[in-house]
A and B are shown apart, each in its own frame.
Chain A
Amino acid sequence: DAGVIQSPRHEVTEMGQEVTLRCKPISGHDYLFWYRQTMMRGLELLIYFNNNVPIDDSGMPEDRFSAKMPNASFSTLKIQPSEPRDSAVYFCASSLDGYGYTFGSGTRLTVV
């Protein structure tokens, strides 16, 4: 298996633009998680899905952030409009049983 695949690896965008991050989980994994990593706040859970259904989105910072999982093999995290404080590394992880995540390599987002 190729593991959890995230794209793009790096994204530089201007403030106010829409940003879409993509994730392909490991086949057969029923859980998908989006985390954000910053120096100041460390790793924060944004949202997670079970069987394509959002279970907990309490970590989504504000309405500018949205996440979807239209099918078992694809998820997106969208920021619209983006702001400089959204600059971070965004990780997607998937899991077979809910724990023991497998993380992707992350998307480094820079908003200028």
Chain B
Amino acid sequence: AQSVTQPDIHITVSEGASLELRCNYSYGATPYLFWYVQSPGQGLQLLLKYFSGDTLVQGIKGFEAEFKRSQSSFNLRKPSVHWSDAAEYFCAVGAGHDYKLSFGAGTTVTVRA
């Protein structure tokens, strides 16, 4: 079965600085990969997804992620964070033959002024 590890539980970043969130997956074939964001008291919102093709994926809110098969990683990046980016971020992996997603434990991002 597929699984996801998000090594960082909490990250603090200054407003305007760059952000990178790490995600490592475990799956034997080509995975379907996703990043979601969750604000307090809200559901999860899809930021971006990777199925195949170009390994650099652009998403909403200025986020991008890069799929690196050799490293089994799908790290999320943003060049310049805004205070509104403070939230919890989840990486998820799907196997492709069904529609079940396995989510990582999440990374909480705090943005300081």
Contact = CB atoms under 8 A, between A and B. Distances in A.
B43 interface: yes
Contacts, number: 48
Contact of A103 (B43, B51, B98): B43
Contacts of B100: 45, 48, 56
B98 A101 contact: no
Interface string A89-112: 001010100111111111000000
13 contacts: A33-B99, A42-B103, A42-B106, A43-B103, A48-B99, A55-B99, A91-B44, A93-B44, A99-B32, A99-B99, A101-B46, A103-B43, A105-B43
Contacts of A100: 34, 46, 49
A4 interface: yes
A7 B63 CA distance: 31
Interface of A: 4, 31, 33, 42-43, 45, 48, 50, 55-56, 91, 93, 95, 98-106
Chain A interface, >50% SS class: strand
A106 B32 CA distance: 24
Given A99-B34, A100-B46, A106-B42, 11 more contacts: A42-B103, A42-B104, A42-B105, A43-B90, A48-B99, A50-B99, A91-B43, A99-B94, A99-B101, A103-B45, A105-B43
